[in-house]
Amino acid sequence: MFIKDQLTQVIHQVLLQMGFEVSTQEIHLEQPALPEHGDWSTNIALVLAKRVKMSPVELSSAVAKTVEDDISSFAFAYIKAVKAVSPGFVNFYLYNSWLHQELIELFKQGEHHYAAFDIGKGKAVQVEFISANPTGPLHVGNGWWGCYGDALARLLSRCGWMVSREYYVNDTGGQIRELGASILAAKRGKELPEGGYKGEYISLLAASYDEAAQAEVEGDEAADGQGAITAVEKAGIWAAKRILENIKTTCNRLGIIFDKYYSQREMEQSGALDQSLKDLDKRSLLYRDEGALWFKSSSLGDSRDRVLVKSDGEYTYLAADIAYHRDKFILRGFDRVIDVFGADHHGHVPSLLAGVEALGVQKGSLEVKIGQMVSLVGGIGTKSDADGSNLSATGAAVKMSKREGNVVLLDSLIDEIGIDAVRLLSLLSSIDQAVTLDLDLVKKQSMENPVYYVQYAHARIASIQKFAEVRGHAGLDRVNLNLNTLNVLRHPRELDLIRCLIELPDIIMSAYNELAPFKVTTWVRKLAGCFHGFYHDCRVIGDDVALEITEARLWLTEAVRIGLKIGLELLGVSLPESM
């Protein structure tokens, strides 16, 4: 049991002795930011004061006195002092051995079980993310939050969920016809149609669109089942398939492997949209007005009703999305679904939530995260990628548009700064904050570079461990590790490093609860900083270092390696052994 859990039991026991009924779930403990406020602090007096008819200051003082008067009676040997602090906190000051005991617990559980939880209990969760239309290669604008979706999936898996990653392929409708028209116009040397797609990739695709390519889609039917598809649709379908393969390659480069690429075209051909409309109609949630079919979404929290089928018989985006989520929840049986959308989908969320609730899915089963815009600052260099798109970013935000051919490709950013940098930088801040990325800083091989800063900590650990082997230090014996081995860790740098390290379980729990992988990134950077300070001030191996201190510091170094490994693997960032 962790020290935090043991201390929670102590507080619970004290409150029961005082005659107050309280559950352990109500007792919140946190590590204060300032050491003068103790090792742990609880606000339980503020929580209980009104219920027990005492002031928070009076109650916190009573709790502190009860603990101090009878410290020896508790099955907890680490309390050195307890102080009540206005307006109602109880601060606990512990002997350093509590930190050493936490290290032992870390090694006992190991990297697979430390800071891992069984919250999901094996239930199925789907995370749908990126889902950019296959009308052009992934660019920074529509692919930036892909690493967020992947890191979120990793976080959910560590918390006991059975995770499925999915990419929704919007491969039908007006944008595919416009893509096809653009391909045919470029093929024939004609001017692009209004609303068509520009960019060198269109010319390259057009050059490859021959009779053999057309034959690939011969026999396909229109998504609405109304017979053979037109020449424009054929060209669009063929191009979308090629573009999707390019998108898959880009995702794979980033370590993002989707379990399923779900085709809207195939869904429409299956009759799923009609079935979802029937389900809504059974619940009296549809009506017709001016030839269109409307959804009574306002009755379920939306700002107004929404059209599902236009007067010309074409399904709306919302109709397809409701059918898609019917497939997720009702046909495939996911217990929980998390969608990651771009900022331009913000207004769509209330309608979608209403649609899912209308299908009879329990409210709250669908969660939607909205990623804000990303801007690039600094030189990415002007170059031509495999698709021929001209790429550049100077000092201003880059407005990206596939239709205008004005994009900074995600592949180009990967080529420029590397996979690890793209992943870590996209996870530095909350998804709901707009991001400005300084490429010049990222390319510096210095401690100013957040990616270099974190990875260099792991490389230093690898260097220490290799040097230990050369100097003949025996491998670490986890079975016989005890407090006597670790109690020589007393230097402030050592203690700060342990304090940071053992925050990881709480960090992962907080990141999970808030669907916020950036919290893991923040912690990893903090741990790296603590380790660099330790490395500077606490020599691990040397003729001037006592053998017992070397052994203890090797244990501490290994514990940090485990922490970095857990954190960076959650973020999908590699752990280099040299830099």
- Residue 423 and residue 436: Cα distance in Å, rounded? 15
Q: Which two tokens stand for residue 241?
A: 């398939």
Cβ atoms of residues 322 and 359 within 8 Å: yes
Q: Give residue 229's pLDDT.
A: 77
Residue 28, domain member (yes or no) = yes
- Residue 26: CATH number of its domain: 3.30.1360.70
Residue 555, domain member (yes or no) = yes
- Residue 459: CATH number of its domain: 1.10.730.10
| Edge-to-edge strand ranges of the sheet holding 292-295 | 286-289, 292-295, 306-309
Residue 366, domain member (yes or no) = no
- Give the CA diameter of the chain: 91
Residue 293, domain member (yes or no) = no
Task: Give the CA radius of gyration of the chain.
Answer: 29
Q: Within a 10 A sphere around the Cβ of 424, how many other Cβ atoms?
A: 27
| Alpha helices for 446-579 (secondary structure H) | 450-470, 483-486, 492-501, 504-513, 518-537, 547-571
Q: Give residue 387's pLDDT.
A: 37
Q: Give residue 399's pLDDT.
A: 46
- Domain hosting residue 11, numbered range: 3-95
Give the DSSP letter of residue 285.
Answer: -
Q: Which long-range contacts (CB under 8 A, 24 or more apart) does 573-576 make?
A: 573/420, 573/423, 573/424, 573/451, 573/454, 573/455, 574/419, 574/420, 574/455, 575/455, 575/458, 576/455, 576/458, 576/459, 576/462
Residue 122, domain member (yes or no) = no
Residue 563, domain member (yes or no) = yes
Distances in whole angstroms, Cα of residue 412 to Cα of each of 78, 253, 391, 408, 417: 54, 12, 8, 7, 9
pLDDT along the chain (579 residues), means of 10: 86 92 93 91 95 94 90 82 95 95 94 96 98 94 94 98 98 93 94 88 93 74 58 94 97 98 95 96 96 96 96 94 98 98 90 97 97 79 37 36 66 92 94 84 76 95 95 81 94 96 96 98 97 97 94 97 98 94
Determine how β-strand 40-42 pairs with β-strand 89-94: antiparallel
Q: Which of 37, 68, 95 is the C-terminal boundary of a domain?
A: 95
- Structural domains in the chain (count): 2
Q: Which of 63, 95, 127 is the C-terminal boundary of a domain?
A: 95
Q: Give residue 62's pLDDT.
A: 94
Q: Which of 68, 95, 122 is the C-terminal boundary of a domain?
A: 95
Instruction: Answer whether the bond into residue 87 is a cis peptide, omega within 30°.
Output: yes
Residue 161, domain member (yes or no) = no
Residue 470, domain member (yes or no) = yes
